[in-house]
Every structure is written in C-alpha cells, then in structure tokens.
Amino acid sequence: MKLVVLLAAAVAAAAQQPTQRREQFRVIYEWRTIDFEWDSPVDRETYLNASRYVPQNVLISGINYYEDKIFLTLPRMLDGVPATLANIPAQQNDTTAPKLKPFPSWSDNTIGNCDALQFVQNIEIDSNGMIWVLDNGRVGTLTQNPSTKCPPSIVLIDLKTGENKIDRIPLPPDTVNPNTSYLNDLVVDSRDGGYAYITDNSAVDPGIVVFRLSDKKSWKLRDSKSMLASPDAALFRINGTTVNLPVNLDGIALGPQFLTEDGEVDRTVYYCPLASYHLYAINASVLRNDSIHARDELAVRANVVDLGTKPSQTDGMKMDSTGMLFFGLIGNSTIAEWNSTTDFRVNQRTIARDTNYIQWIDRFTFDNRGNIYVVVNRLYNFVKNQVSVDEVNYRILRSYTGMKSYIYGEDIKPTQTPSPQNVAASKTISASLLVLALAYLLA
C-alpha cells in the first residue's frame, strides 16, 4: 500500500483524542482506466468496437460501503460508459485495480431503458440496507448533445432482500427539470419515515431538493446568495493545470440530531457550491417544511447561516456520527476535518496533504470498522479531455478514524409533542449556529 503524507496537525489532533487511533491515509485501490467484469471476452470486444465502452471516458465519482462491498458511481458524462453503478470487494485480494461488477446487473444499466439506471452521480445507503440512488436520467452531459433518456428519479434498491429490485420514483418536472437539472449529491435523514436532501447544481435553477419517502413527495428550496457559484472561486488550479468550473450548489452533509429550545428534534444540513470558498448551514426542519413556497428565497435565506470560508473549494464532504465533518480542499490537494460543535472559521484541521495522490477529492464514505474512504479522480483532467491512460487517474484512499457514518448517529427523543405552529414555522436555528452567525456579523 502507498502512504499518503499525514501532516503534523493531524497527529496533534489525534493526540487530543486518546480514544481514537488515527492512521495515515493509504492507497488501497488505483486505476489508470476502469474495466469491468464482462460476461465474456466477446462482449467486451463488442462494446469496444461499437464505442459503447471507451475506457478513458469512465470516471469514478461516488462511493459507498455495505457488507464488505464498495459501491461506486460512474456518471455517464461522456459516451462509452457501459455501466453507471458497480461494486468491488472492500477487502483487497490479489490486485490493486479490480474490475468493477455492474450493479444490480448489466441489464439494469441499459441506456434508454427507464426501468434501468441511466446516469448515477451519487448514492447513499441507509441503516436498513436501502440504496438511495440519484439517477439524473440524462446522459452525455459533457458532450455537444446531452440526451434525456428518462425522468430524473430517486431509485431505491433494497440490499437486505438480496433481490436488488429497482424501484424508480420520478421527480416532478416543476421541481426537477429533466433537461437542465443535475442531481449531484444527497444525505438521508431516517426520521419520520425517511427524507433525502439533494443538491441540484443546475446551471439555471440550483437548489436543495427535498424528497419525502412516506408519500413520495418532493420540493425544492432555493437561495441564490448561498447556492450559486462565486465568480472569484470558479478557477481551479491543481498541479499546474487550470480549469474554469463555475458550478453551483454541490457538496452536502448532515449533522447529528439535537434538541431545539422547544424540545423538538432537529438536525443541521451543511452545504456549499463547488465554486465557492464558503460553507453554509440550514436546519433540516426548514427544508422539511413543504409550506415554504417553492421560490420564496427570502423565507429560505432567513434561515441560512454562513459559517465562514475555507482555504480552497470543496467537492464532496461527509459527516461522521459524532459531528466531525470531513471535506476536501481541491486547490490545496488536502483532506480536512472540522468538529461541527466549534467555530468553523478557526477550527478547520488539515489531516492529509499530498500533491501526487490527492488530486481532486470527490466523495467520502465510512465502513463498519471505523475506516473512512476517499475517492480521488483527477476530475480537472476529465472535464478538459486530458485523461492519459498511461497514468493513474483514480484512487481510493482509506484511513482509520474509529468512527461511523452520520447514518448511525444517535436517535434522540423530543421532550414534548411538537405543536402544529412549531412544525409550520420550522425556523429554529441551533444555539451553536446562532452564536456563530452573530460572531460572523460582528467580526
């Protein structure tokens, strides 16, 4: 295994937490190009000859873990991506570049079949073994002619049954436009039957999409101030390569449950545009309030807290069960962490930095053994069509933290029955965020 440089700051941080044995990030898997477990060599050759499989066009983006398997998403931004969701063993065997097994099957990844997966950017797996899949339905998003094959959808796949049946739930076009939306990332809140909070970084209508599983209803909340790209952060510089990506709302994370002053249970949702140096927060109770008008930005903005700035832009981020946020700093080739109970502006910690191995951190996940995994995919080369098949382009790093995903955070009980007025208002901001907001305004 290759070691990634771990800085002294991370060692010092670990020393302050004697109950955790921190480890350096190690490369556990790496690929020059992605290959698959084909049904036969003839199938592979057929796909290659028909340009249905173009190795340099297959990019690893999302990652998740379940029962000794690592699930990977392969968004169909370019032509020649034969499967958009696949898995590999979590435990290494005889190779550091395993072939990916399409999931649930080859046929379930057929382009143009709306009973199958079309364009998966990210997934989440909840504590019940349910995969929540973001399927944009549109392929070739980096080509001259993107094609909308199917409606943007939430796709649910129950892993516990072993049948892996696809349950597709199309999202309404007045919430998610089939031709302009880009469902990028999601977190799952298991309370009250289950909610998903989803970032749509559409170039024309970005926002947080809320999906409620109980009645399969969805709506979008918008705030141009916190969800649009910042022009001063649209330029990315990584190892001598420069790329302009004015991308809107992107990363999202979900904090632990807490009790409000009214004795109700709430959570904090953290998010940021890709082209931004800021991290923002809003309470889940605000997002879950479907009485807020779809385009009432002022009602949303009144509940958004700007937590402060980061040294560089961030793509994916992930919260553990205790409230520790892990995120990448793309321009700095850095992985960072922040204890969400503290002031974001002064308590960000660098835990790994390496210009050779940490080149565009995309997504994170946790396993059930206390490890965190990171996808590094050199996205800046991919979007500029400069992928070299002679170099390592995709890596999965792993480090031991002793923690689990936010999915397994503590469930707490309300101290009183919520009143209809409190539910409708849903404007309580946690005390810690309120203090940070005041400090930020007075600074």
Q: List pLDDT tens digits, range 111-134.
A: 999 999 999 999 999 999 999 999
pLDDT digits (tens, 9 = 90+) for 289-330: 988 766 688 889 999 999 999 999 999 999 999 999 999 999
Higher pLDDT, 252 or 431: 252
Cα separation values, 295 from 170, 194, 301, 427, Å: 21, 24, 11, 17
pLDDT band at 238 (very low <50, low <70, confident <90, very high): very high
Q: Which residues, 6+ apart, have CB-to-CB distance to 130 below 8 Å?
A: 156, 157, 158, 159, 160
Helix segments in 258-342, DSSP class H = 284-287, 297-301
DSSP tag of 230: P
- Cβ atoms of 393 and 379 within 8 Å: the answer is no
User: CA-to-CA distance for 98 and 35, rounded, in angstroms?
Assistant: 8
For the segment 389-410, what is each residue's pLDDT rounded down to a tens digit? 999 999 999 999 999 999 999 9
- Which position has the higher pLDDT, 280 or 21? 280
Contact partners, residue 59, CB within 8 Å, separation at least 6: 34, 74, 75, 77, 81, 377, 379, 382, 394
Tallying the residues shown for the chain, one arrives at 443
The yes-or-no verdict on residue 1 having pLDDT over 90 is no
Query: Pairing state of beta strands 153-158 and 268-273?
Result: unpaired
Q: In this predicted model, which residue has the larger pLDDT, 392 or 11?
A: 392
- What's the mean pLDDT in 156-167? 95
- pTM, entire model: 0.90
Mean pLDDT of the residues in the chain: 90
**Type of residue at 351:** I
CB-based contact 408:321 (threshold 8 Å): yes
Strands (E), 23-135: 26-31, 63-66, 69-73, 85-89, 101-102, 120-125, 130-135
* pLDDT value at 438 more than 50: no
pLDDT at 291: 85
Share of the chain above pLDDT 70, in %: 88
Contact 252, 185 (CB under 8 A): yes
pLDDT tens string 253-271: 999 999 999 999 999 999 9
Cβ-contact 298, 285 below 8 angstroms: no
pLDDT over 70 (residue 106) = yes
Q: Which of 15, 85, 28 is nearest to 395 (CA)?
A: 28
d(C-alpha 213, C-alpha 193), whole Å: 6
pLDDT classification of 93: cutoffs 50, 70, 90: confident
Name which residue leads in pLDDT, 441 or 331.
331
Q: Which of 21-35, 126-140, 210-224, 244-258 has the lowest mean pLDDT?
A: 21-35
pLDDT confidence bin for 229, thresholds 50/70/90: very high
What does each C-alpha distance from 416 to 82, 258, 274 come to in angstroms?
Answer: 52, 14, 39
* Residue-wise pLDDT tens digits, 185-213: 999 999 999 999 999 999 999 999 999 99
Give me the pLDDT at residue 441, please: 41
> Does residue 170 have a pLDDT over 80?
yes
pLDDT value of position 239: 85
Segment 60-70 mean pLDDT: 96
Average pLDDT for residues 239-259, to the nearest whole number?
A: 96
Q: Quick: pLDDT tens for 68-92.
A: 999 999 999 999 999 999 999 998 7
Give the CATH class of 26-434.
mainly beta
Structural domain spans, the chain:
26-434
